[in-house]
Amino acid sequence: MVGTAPFSNLRRRVIVLIAAAAAAGLLAFQPMAGADARAGDVAVSTSSVKGRDGTTYTVTNHVVRTKGEGRRKEWLLVWTGDASVPGGPVGAAGHTAHRKSDVEGSGDPDFLAVIDATKGSRDYGKVVNTATIGPLLQNEPHHMQYVWHKGDKVFAGGLLSDTTYVFDVGQLPRIRLSGVTTATDTPCGTAPDAFTTLKDGTVYGAYMGGPNVPGPCTYTHGEVRTGNGAAGTPGEVLRIDQTGRVRVEYPAATEAAEPDTCHSIPQVDPPTCANPHGIRVREDLNRLVTSDFAEVRSLMLLPTADFYIARDTVRIYDIAHRDRPRLLSVSRLPDGPRKEPFLIEEEPRVVMETALTNERRHRGGFVSTMGGASIYYTPDITDPKPTWREVFDDTTAFTRLAPELDNRVGMDGGSWLQTSADDRYLYHVVMRRGDESSGGKDTGMVYVLDVRKLVDAGRRTRCNIDTLEEVTRGGAEPDCPSLVSALPVEDPTTGGPHWAALDNFRQGPGGHYQETRQPTRLVLANYFVAASPFDGDHRVCMVDISPRQQLSLDRSFKDEHTRRPCVEFNRSAWPHGETGDARPHGVLFAVSDADVR
């Protein structure tokens, strides 16, 4: 029988994730103007919008004046939280923790960092703007959308503030605030996680947590579900426009009871596993897919928590009427061949991310599990009763990196998951080896799978990881994904690489940028959530992808101060002042509208 005692990292901690649904507990911030020693080299400008809660929200640019190169630039956006208020381990061996020089614990603004991502630029890797947000502090900046296209706004969620910010990035490196979705705009959902954009510029968003207050909550079209409060259960799906206005709140939970293994604390009646994290859309198929993560506040309340708050479910919605989503199916992922000591480490547990195929001839979808260290696939997301099978285990990739180790992967933190636009490859980021491994626990990774045979097989796919040999050597069936490349990522803290983004641009004639279906690099951030057992060393690294899909660290993407590869977010000063260390989470490539063709 699988145990329910916590694994070793969690055994040492009892951490409560604080959900600020109404944002009333957050501190206020007044924009600073050139607070650092180089204030004369920083151009400061502020934009603001008035939220529907009556609060005026601001974004203040601190753009560093650089010498012009006469070339069009590509930019990296990094959604970043202040680390001056302790929320977890800050700094580690080899990574200095910089503290503020003023009153400890007062907090500094969160910000959207803009980094020069133009290969060959003299400022490659330099932070050229920190767009600080106000008045809320300690938002816990989390995810933005997965991919940015010309004309899109950027949607960025505050996990703890229950606030989504909408940024205009049409004139980079300068940022403008276009709108805000406040806690009062989303009474039935909290803890915003991920966003997926539509062609009309709106987004669907996954809010993992329950209603602002415990009890029944009425959604946009009259549906009623009972929840146990902020960052609890059930979560919801939203559609938000370019000003942050909520077009629809839709329940992720079914009206009827879900399996009795869907626990919540306190227990929701009827029970549900609806805590959506990943969210992806296929507009041509009129389908939306979400993956259920966990009751987020309870996952952090260990060692006494019930591990059945870790979810194993995937939801598919009909979005033929964009403002009236309709839940079609709730699928439980099947267990795999590994026998782990703790339930949370079994293959189907903690379903973090989803990724869909893109071409019209393909209808498949993938999900990955943070606790279970596995990737699952269904060949047809339009099937009213989709079949999900495990098609890859992270053990195979870790074994490729270190065959001499006993590579145990339970709760390895499998995170970001993305298909290439041409459906040929699947990219995946993993935080660290599992606690039961014989060594190398500071090593995370990013790997790439060749999935062409799998997706081309359609409904005829036979791949299924159902033996221990396939766990370590890959699937035996001919259509199973093959491991092309795996790049180790060292992080001496309790965390590691969590989020990433593919570079979907290339420079064409006249220096203008065009979107590409064959990415040549990706970026990843080493940070999860400080109020959890998994923090990170707060670096942002660039990874090159060769034509043969071999991954390598881009050593020319260097920190402007240390001159070492990767941009270090543990630093004393930023363009907006000497505010110390920061926590990078969401990452996204973008280009000024005028520079895209």
Please state, in angstroms and rounded to a whole number, the distance separating the CA atoms of residues 351 and 276.
Answer: 9
Distance between alpha carbon 190 and the CA centroid of its chain, in Å? 16
Name the residue range of residue 413's domain. 336-490
List, as one string, the DSSP characters of 507-523. Answer: E-GGG-EEE-SS--EEE
Instruction: Give tens-digit pLDDT for 258-311.
Output: 999 999 999 999 999 999 999 999 999 999 999 999 999 998 755 446 899 999
Domain membership of residue 587 (yes or no) is no
pLDDT score of 12: 33
* pLDDT higher at 84 or 554: 554
Domain membership of residue 452 (yes or no) is yes
Q: ∠554-559-563 over CA atoms, to 5°?
A: 90
Tell me the pTM.
0.92
pLDDT score of 442: 87
pLDDT score of 228: 97
Instruction: Give tens-digit pLDDT for 469-516.
Output: 999 999 999 999 999 999 999 999 989 999 999 999 999 988 999 999
Q: How far is CA 496 from CA 7, 298, 353, 502, in A?
A: 17, 22, 17, 18
DSSP type of residue 290 = E
Please state, in angstroms and rounded to a whole number, the distance separating the CA atoms of residues 541 and 526.
Answer: 8
Average pLDDT (235-241) is 99
Query: Does 33 score more than 50 pLDDT?
Result: no
Cβ atoms of residues 46 and 31 within 8 Å: yes
Domain membership of residue 453 (yes or no) is yes
Domain membership of residue 191 (yes or no) is no
Average pLDDT (376-385) is 98
pLDDT score of 96: 42
pLDDT score of 322: 98
Query: Does 92 score more than 90 pLDDT?
Result: no
Q: Which residue's entry shows tokens 């549906």?
A: 223
Q: How confident is the model at residue 39 (pLDDT cuts 50, 70, 90)?
A: low
Domain membership of residue 207 (yes or no) is no
Highest mean pLDDT among 45-49, 99-103, 528-532: 45-49
Length reported for the chain: 597
pLDDT score of 220: 98
Instruction: Give tens-digit pLDDT for 409-444.
Output: 899 999 999 999 999 999 999 999 987 787 778 899
| Tokens at 93, concatenated | 């061996």
| Tokens at 270, concatenated | 């009827």
Average pLDDT (327-354) is 97
Domain membership of residue 206 (yes or no) is no
Domain membership of residue 59 (yes or no) is no
pLDDT score of 93: 30
Residue 116 pairs in a beta bridge with 75
Q: How many domains does the chain have?
A: 1
Q: How confident is the model at residue 22 (pLDDT cuts 50, 70, 90)?
A: very low
The secondary structure of 104-167, three-state, reads CCCCCCCEEEEEECCCCCCCCCCEEEEEEEECECCCCECCCECCCCCCCCEEEEECCCCEEEEE
pLDDT score of 306: 87
Q: How confident is the model at residue 533 (pLDDT cuts 50, 70, 90)?
A: confident
First-residue to last-residue Cα distance in the chain: 58
pLDDT score of 87: 52
Q: How confident is the model at residue 3 (pLDDT cuts 50, 70, 90)?
A: very low
Please state, in angstroms and rounded to a whole number, the distance separating the CA atoms of residues 48 and 133.
Answer: 10
Please state, in angstroms and rounded to a whole number, the distance separating the CA atoms of residues 293 and 231.
Answer: 12
Query: Does 345 score more than 70 pLDDT?
Result: yes
Q: How far is CA 195 from CA 100, 146, 281, 288, 350, in A?
A: 33, 7, 10, 12, 19
Q: How confident is the model at residue 25 (pLDDT cuts 50, 70, 90)?
A: very low
pLDDT score of 434: 85
Highest mean pLDDT among 90-94, 214-218, 493-497: 214-218
pLDDT score of 567: 99
pLDDT score of 305: 66
Q: Which of 505, 451, 517 is nearest to 478 (CA)?
A: 451
Q: How confident is the model at residue 574 (pLDDT cuts 50, 70, 90)?
A: very high
Residue 197 pairs in a beta bridge with 203
Residue 69's region, left for phi above 0, alpha for psi from -120 to 50, else beta, is alpha
Query: Does 336 score more than 80 pLDDT?
Result: yes
Q: How far is CA 414 from CA 238, 349, 382, in A?
A: 25, 11, 26
Q: What percent of the chain has pLDDT over 90?
A: 82
pLDDT score of 86: 60
Query: Does 526 score more than 80 pLDDT?
Result: yes
Domain membership of residue 371 (yes or no) is yes
H-only helix segments in 275-356: 296-299
Please state, in angstroms and rounded to a whole number, the distance separating the CA atoms of residues 536 and 500.
Answer: 14
Q: How confident is the model at residue 557 (pLDDT cuts 50, 70, 90)?
A: very high
Please state, in angstroms and rounded to a whole number, the distance separating the CA atoms of residues 140 and 17.
Answer: 11
Query: Does 130 score more than 90 pLDDT?
Result: yes
